[in-house]
Structure 1
Amino acid sequence: MSAPQTALNVYRAIIDEFVSKTRHYGSSSRVADSGLFSNAPDHEKFNNFIETLTPSQRELLSEMLQEERDSAIHDILASLSEWIDCQDVGLTYQGKPMPVDLSGMGLHGDYVGRRDGWEWPSQKESGDS
C-alpha cells in the first residue's frame, strides 16, 4: 500500500483500518467456525466453555463478541470526537489539520458508516483537493 498523500486520505485510511481490523481480527469468527476462542494457555477456560455449546449457541456467542468489539471501537472514537469537539484537540498529518467527521456524526459515525458499507464522500464534497 502506498502512503496516502493528503490528510484526508490518511484519515480515511485510519478509519478503514479500524473497520478492517474489527472484522478480520479477534475471536468471533473462530468461535463460530472452529469452537476455539484462542490458543493462548490462559484462554483454555474459554475454549472449554465454548466446547460445551451447540453450533447455534457458538454462532450467537460469536455475534456477541463481534458486537462488543464493534462497540469498543465506536466508544473510543466517540470519546475522541468529544475531545475534538469540546476540548480543542485535533489530529494532524504532516503538520496539516486532518479532516474528521466526514459523515456529520463524528469519528464514530464515520467508523459505523464505513463498517456498514457507506461510501466516502468525494474529495470535492469533503473540501480537500
Structure 2
Amino acid sequence: MKDDKQAESLQNYKDFIDGLVDIRLSVLSNWVLTKGWPKTEENSKINEFINGLSQDQKQILAHIIQQSRDGGIHDVLVFLTDEININGLKLIKNETEMAKEPFDSEMYYDWDCRREGDPWPDSEKS
C-alpha cells in the first residue's frame, strides 16, 4: 500500500511539471507570428506596431515574449520550491501529497529539463 502511495505521489509530481510544460507556449507569441491581437479598438495600436515589423523582427519579439512567459513559470516554481522547503507548503491531489524533490533537484530545474525535452531521470534508457 505504501508503494502505491509513493508511486501516486511521484506521478502527481510528474503530472504537475509536465502540465506546466504543456501550457508553456505563449498565445501572444503566436499572435505576433500569425494574425495579430484580436481586432478591437484597444488593440489597434498593437496590431499597427506588429504589422510594421519585418518577419525577423516578429521572430525576435515572439522569442522575447516566450522567454517572459517561461520566466514567469520558472519564478512561480522557485517560489513554490521555497514555500515547500522552508515554510512547509504541501501540494495534495486526490488526498495524496505530491512528491518533494523526488530526483534530488528543485521543481524549477525539473521543469527546465522537461521543457527542453529531457526524459524523466527514472525513465528507461532505450
**Corresponding residue SS for 1:53:** coil
Tell me whether 1:39 sits opposite 2:38 in the alignment. yes
Partner of residue 18, structure 1: 20
Gaps of 5+ in 2: 1-6
1:75-126 deviation digits (Å, cap 9, x = unpaired): 0110010000110111122323211334433111111110011211327xxx
Higher gyration radius (CA): 2
Q: 2: distance between equivalents of 1:17 and 1:76?
A: 14
**Structure with bigger RCO (C-alpha 8 Å, 6+ apart):** 2
Partner of residue 27, structure 1: 28
The residue correspondences of 1:1-129 to structure 2 (distance < 5 A) are: 6-23=8-25, 25-32=26-33, 34=34, 36=36, 38-39=37-38, 41=40, 42-122=42-122
Deviation at 1:15, TM superposition (A): 1.2
Gaps of 5+ in 1: 124-129
Q: 2: distance between equivalents of 1:96 and 1:35?
A: 43
Q: CA RMSD in A?
A: 2.0
Normalising by structure 1, we get a TM-score of 0.78
For the 8 Å contact 1:28–1:62, the answer to whether it is kept is: yes
| Paired positions, count | 116
Normalising by structure 2, we get a TM-score of 0.80
